[in-house]
Chain A
Amino acid sequence: MTMNGQLRWRKLVSNFMLTMTGVCALVSVSVLFFILGYLVYNGGASINWNFFTKLPAPVGETGGGMANAIVGSAKLLLLATLVGVPNGFFGAIYLAEFSGSKIAFVVRYAADLLNGTPSIIIGIFAYAILVHPFNHFSTYAGGFALGVMMIPITLRSTEEFLLGVPRALREGAMALGASKWKTIATVIVPAAYRGILTAILLAFARVAGETAPLLFTALGNRYWSHGFNEPTASLPVMIYTYAISAYDDWHRQAWAAGLVLLALVLIINIIARSILARGISVPRS
């Protein structure tokens, strides 16, 4: 009888705890839908044509938009891609195809360290080398900071996809007399291109929402920023400034900007993951 009772108790505990784990998983996932729903509800109501086409209204006036911040973000991300992607890509080729194990260890270690560095510290770094010496905030500095953040993400995942290319492909190309770099350029990289594209897109999405490194590099700007040498507005910084302000109209615009930013980041993420899922071009060996 007691055995039976004990067993029943154990089964009860088992079922209860397993149900709880399910609840944990459900709640965690529903946070995503809550965030989405909240931003669509609040941001959707305040998003309009002006948001995309007008400059911010003077302080205290309602209306206006964030056209300059959208363009600013695009410019920053362009610079970031130029800084981060080639470096990550070619670095990964060195790691996967050329390097010995000691150098590879050091480079990987440095990349992981860089990846784990809080973004605000990258901001201090960009300030120290690109803002302080020139005495003015600039798009260059902001783009550089974001680019530095892209390097380790691109590098590590590109490397992994290059390593996934089956050895037989390499050997085939070399048996046909191709030189090593030709093998890399015409066989290995094309074989891994889906993975590499995913890596780049994910890195891009990651830095698209970064705010901290921009606070004292690209700073912000309530007007158009000309060229790359002036401070520029960007969506994440605008969201921050508007959200902590005291004006209701600015809060509404912060929600709208948040919705635009979140949509951008999530869409890039989904595209990146579907590229990879649609057919892993590289069979995992």
Chain B
Amino acid sequence: MAAPSTTVPSAGPVAGSRSFFSRLRDGDEIARLVTFLFAAWVVFLTLVIVFELWQSSVLPRHKFGFAFLRTSVWDPVFDQFGALPFIYGTLVTSAVALVIAVPFGIGAAIFLAELAPARVSDTLEFFIDLLAAVPSVIYGVLGIFIIVPAMRDFIEPWLKETLGFLPLFKGPAYGIGFLTAGMVLAIMVVPYIISVSREVLLSVPRDQREAALALGSTRWESTWKVVVPFARTGIMGSIFLALARALGETMAVTMVIGNTPLISASLFSPGDSIASVVASQFKEATGDLYTQSLVELGLVLFLLTFVLNGLARLLILLTSRRGAGTAHA
């Protein structure tokens, strides 16, 4: 989509024939330089963030090395810092979020893209966009006052009764913990999955649907066996995007996860995630090793989201290209 812009054709013959000084007098070179500085600043800023994270986590990297990622003792009093419980918490809460959010999000996206009339679809999409704009601290407030009590009093006891034989659903129901955090995250990432998947589904060429229907498939079969597979890389992209959001989400998780560095097979157990431990302990952290260990956690999180975002973008790009390609063919 960037291709036509990068060489603005009108600039070619006109600007090219003029000397550097005449362009300088017109102000073109100055404008180019000034705007270039702003654009370069963005790149610089990104590099500085990585550099600062790296630079500010020297101590724990030297002291613990890769053991930082493998050990699970987090004891500021004895200067022992291991990231494993937080990495575990981040991954588990995000996984729970995806398990709930993906079927839901894709279902809703199918409805918006395939079934709803354009007007209804656009209206609902407007609300979905608003939902995506709700600040995370608000989700946290709802989490504390609605979801936590509901989980403690209804959902967790019910899960224990029906699925209690699984290690996932054992132990006392506190209300706070991995499951609740995953639940809040699920609510938060559903709008992202819906928005992106809807776009991707809408870009599937019309003849794909018509061909499937003409062959005698039902509406659902044409959607599920033809349209969705056609768009699956893009849908995967939307899921990765949601995953990246879930991994980095801070406030809502901090407010409901329980802030205890535990690794437990039970989803009812309180825990902690990378983002939430940084949010809750960074301010109070005393001593360089403690602070820098938290920064190193930040670095780990940055790398995780970096990889996921890259993958997500690649997948979405691949699908929309494919859709566009076949549409023209």
Contacts and interface: CB of A to CB of B under 8 A. Distances in A.
Contacts of B63: none
Nearest to A95: B39
Given A94-B35, A108-B2, A209-B136, A21 B111 contact: yes
Contacts of A129: 48, 52
Contact of B127 (A32, A42, A87): A32
A11 B220 CA distance: 8
Interface in B24-74: 26-28, 30-32, 34-36, 38-43, 45-49, 52-53, 56
Given A110-B42, A215-B279, A240-B251, A125 B305 contact: no
A76 B53 CA distance: 24
Closest 6 CB pairs of A and B: A209-B135, A118-B248, A24-B107, A179-B26, A14-B220, A94-B35
B131 interface: yes
Contact of A35 (B2, B3, B107, B134): B134
Nearest to B116: A25
Interface stretch (B138-146, B156-164, B229-237): B138-146
A211 B251 contact: yes
A174 interface: yes
B111 to A, nearest CB: 4
B271 to A, nearest CB: 17
B207 to A, nearest CB: 20
Interface string B261-288: 0000000000000010011001100000
A114 B124 contact: no
A14 B190 CA distance: 24
B321 interface: no
Interface string A74-117: 00000000000011011101111111110111111011111011
A106 B10 contact: no
Contacts of B116: 25
A23 B112 CA distance: 11
Given A163-B5, A181-B30, A240-B137, 11 more contacts: A18-B115, A21-B114, A24-B104, A32-B127, A117-B248, A118-B301, A118-B302, A155-B42, A180-B15, A181-B27, A261-B135
A254 B248 contact: no
Chain B at the A interface: SS class: helix
B138 A258 contact: yes
B10 A255 contact: no
B117 interface: no
Interface string A173-184: 010000111101
A208 interface: yes
Interface string A10-36: 110111011011111101110110010
B220 A28 contact: no
Contact of A99 (B31, B39, B301): B39
Given A25-B112, A104-B6, A167-B9, A117 B49 contact: yes
A120 B128 contact: no
A27 B32 contact: no
27 contacts: A10-B221, A17-B224, A23-B107, A25-B112, A28-B104, A32-B127, A35-B134, A90-B35, A94-B39, A98-B35, A104-B6, A107-B39, A116-B244, A117-B49, A120-B250, A122-B49, A125-B53, A174-B14, A179-B23, A179-B27, A180-B23, A181-B31, A209-B138, A210-B135, A215-B282, A251-B145, A254-B141
B187 interface: yes
B154 interface: no
A121 B220 contact: no
B110 interface: yes
Given A21-B115, A179-B27, A181-B28, A127 B282 contact: yes
Contacts of B130: 32, 266, 269-270
A117 B283 CA distance: 20
Contacts of B6: 99-101, 104
Contacts of A97: 8, 35
A14 B255 CA distance: 41
A262 B134 contact: yes
A136 interface: no
Contacts of A222: none
A90 B34 contact: yes
Contact of B42 (A28, A87, A100, A251): A87
Contact of B45 (A128, A148, A206, A215): A148
Contacts of A151: 42, 45
B138 A35 contact: yes
Contacts of B40: 107
Contact of B11 (A11, A123, A180): A180
Interface string A249-281: 001001100100110011001100100000000
Name the residue among B46, B52, B128, B306 with the largest chain A CB count within 10 angstroms. Answer: B46
Given A171-B10, A212-B275, A121 B301 contact: yes
